Amino acid sequence: MQVTLANPRGFCAGVNMAIECLDEAIRIFGSGIYVYHEIVHNRHVVERFTAQGVTFVDRVEDVPPNSILLFSAHGVSPEIRHLAERLQLQTIDATCPLVTKVHMEALKFARDGYHIVLIGHEGHDEVVGTMGEAPESITLVETPEDVDLLPFAPEEPIAFLTQTTLSVSEAQAVIDRLIQRFPDIASPPKEDICYATTNRQEAVRQLSETADVVIVLGSQNSSNSLRLAELGEGRTGRAYLVDSVDELPDGWNEGVERVVVTAGASAPEDVVTDCLDHLKSAHGATVDEITVSEEHVHFPLPRELRVLQSDAGSASHVDGREADRRQTDNTA
Ligand code: SF4
């Protein structure tokens, strides 16, 4: 068995920052911390923090007053921020800056009188947060067919935005249909699908050319991992999205000689290492890592956490979205 290990894979800058945020918050406050939604969409990461005493909640109302509440990498709507404020929670915003960028674009387009067509997956945490910025001015679409049903006239001021973790090719098909229907549609100043999503997909696209199967390490609720598995399946006819190697079904390797291994942006590297060790020991695999693109993106911790680092306990809630807070360069 020949294994091609995709690079880049695994943790992106936003996931690294969110995990570092929670680690640091635990160091400062102890483990009785609450997180709104999963810090990142990965079972191993969530289990590790749960074992340390962190509580993940889906309702801000479930957090006791005066507690520390961390907002996950996927971002939240203003309604959730205000609710946390009313409940006197001390908040730390671990939203990925590239998600915040989409929120800011939504706000700007809405203020400028545009109706926004958001391309994304209904119910995803990020989409819920973005739509909450301007609920009256945003319509969600998932497919080109959804675009055909939009009730707007071509001359109306329309703009589009996208979720950060979509399939690049599927999003482009929706954008193409939007441009057909609304030739003057405004677009985000810079691509919304983030560098990490784009790079991981491009690596699988290039490396799976001659592969028999693609293994994606990641969780089923991880949007970018799902997109990698769909891409792998489209390229090779067979792909597995698994949290760890022991979830591969019996017989997965029948007739398989060439395997591509990758990991979603929220999957830790140790699950990749475990997978490779298994493929070597159980299937005599040889492993070649191939780098398709280099990534050098890093996001600093949010300002409110840096303040707390220097003066633990003395800082109160600071809105996490100051324009100067973080780097928002969406390039690799
Ligand atoms: S996948 Fe992209 S948008 Fe999501 S956390 Fe990572 S860098 Fe940010």
Do 106 and 174 reside in the same domain of the chain? yes
Please work out whether the CB of residue 197 comes within 6 Å of at least one atom of ligand 1: yes
| Closest CA relative to residue 325, chosen from 126, 101, 163 | 101
Do 173 and 110 reside in the same domain of the chain? yes
Look at residues 147, 181, 215 and tell me which one is the last residue of a structural domain: 181
This prediction has a pTM of 0.92
Please work out whether the CB of residue 99 comes within 6 Å of at least one atom of ligand 1: yes
| Within a domain: 144 | yes
- Summarised one tens digit per residue, pLDDT across range 224-269 is 999 999 999 999 999 999 999 999 999 999 999 999 999 999 999 9
Q: Could you tell me the distance, in angstroms and rounded to a whole number, from the CA of residue 294 to the centre of ligand 1?
A: 16
Q: Which of 38, 105, 126, 133 is the catalytic position?
A: 126
| Closest CA relative to residue 321, chosen from 161, 91, 84, 22 | 91
Could you give the 3-state DSSP secondary structure of residue 138?
A: strand
Beta strands (DSSP E) in the chain are 2-7, 34-36, 55-57, 68-71, 90-93, 115-119, 138-141, 158-162, 213-217, 239-242, 258-263, 286-291
Do 92 and 102 reside in the same domain of the chain? no
| Within a domain: 277 | yes
Other beta carbons within 10 angstroms of residue 67's beta carbon come to 18
**Structural domain of 42:** 13-96+298-310
| Within a domain: 315 | no
Do 213 and 285 reside in the same domain of the chain? yes
Look at residues 152, 181, 210 and tell me which one is the last residue of a structural domain: 181
Is 20 assigned a catalytic role? no
Do 208 and 287 reside in the same domain of the chain? yes
Whole-number average pLDDT of the chain: 93
Q: Could you tell me the distance, in angstroms and rounded to a whole number, from the CA of residue 256 to the centre of ligand 1?
A: 32
Do 199 and 286 reside in the same domain of the chain? yes
Do 199 and 279 reside in the same domain of the chain? yes
- Summarised one tens digit per residue, pLDDT across range 117-133 is 999 999 999 999 999 99
- Summarised one tens digit per residue, pLDDT across range 15-44 is 999 999 999 999 999 989 999 999 999 999
Do 92 and 131 reside in the same domain of the chain? no
Please work out whether the CB of residue 12 comes within 6 Å of at least one atom of ligand 1: yes
Atom of ligand 1 nearest to the CA of 73: 5
Q: Could you tell me the distance, in angstroms and rounded to a whole number, from the CA of residue 309 to the centre of ligand 1?
A: 24
Q: pLDDT at residue 327 above 60?
A: no
Atom of ligand 1 nearest to the CA of 165: 1
Please work out whether the CB of residue 217 comes within 6 Å of at least one atom of ligand 1: no
The share of the chain scoring above pLDDT 70, in percent, equals: 93
Do 270 and 200 reside in the same domain of the chain? yes
Q: Range with the lowest mean pLDDT among 56-65, 289-298, 320-329?
A: 320-329
Residue with CA nearest ligand 1 atom 5: 14
Q: Could you tell me the distance, in angstroms and rounded to a whole number, from the CA of residue 253 to the centre of ligand 1?
A: 31
Q: pLDDT at residue 320 above 70?
A: no
Q: pLDDT at residue 271 above 50?
A: yes
Q: State the CATH number of the domain containing residue 19.
A: 3.40.50.11270
Q: pLDDT at residue 317 above 60?
A: no
Do 276 and 222 reside in the same domain of the chain? yes
Q: pLDDT at residue 280 above 80?
A: yes
Q: Name 64's Cβ contacts closer than 8 Å, sequence gap at least 6.
A: none
Please work out whether the CB of residue 196 comes within 6 Å of at least one atom of ligand 1: yes
| Within a domain: 272 | yes
| Within a domain: 164 | yes
Q: How many domains does the chain have?
A: 3
Do 216 and 286 reside in the same domain of the chain? yes
Which burial class, exposed, middle or buried, applies to 166 when counting CB atoms under 10 A from its CB (0-12, 13-18, 19+)?
buried
| Residue of 9, 15, 329 with the most ligand 1 atoms within 8 Å of its CB, for mutation | 15
Say if residues 17 and 40 touch (Cβ distance below 8 Å). Answer: no
| Within a domain: 325 | no
Please work out whether the CB of residue 215 comes within 6 Å of at least one atom of ligand 1: no
Do 64 and 116 reside in the same domain of the chain? no
Q: State the CATH number of the domain containing residue 275.
A: 3.40.1010.20
Atom of ligand 1 nearest to the CA of 12: 6
Please work out whether the CB of residue 266 comes within 6 Å of at least one atom of ligand 1: no
| Within a domain: 326 | no
Q: pLDDT at residue 159 above 50?
A: yes
How do 34-36 and 286-291 pair as beta strands? unpaired
Which burial class, exposed, middle or buried, applies to 265 when counting CB atoms under 10 A from its CB (0-12, 13-18, 19+)?
buried
Q: What are φ and ψ of residue 5, in 5° steps?
A: -95, 120
Atom of ligand 1 nearest to the CA of 297: 7
| Within a domain: 330 | no
Please work out whether the CB of residue 98 comes within 6 Å of at least one atom of ligand 1: yes
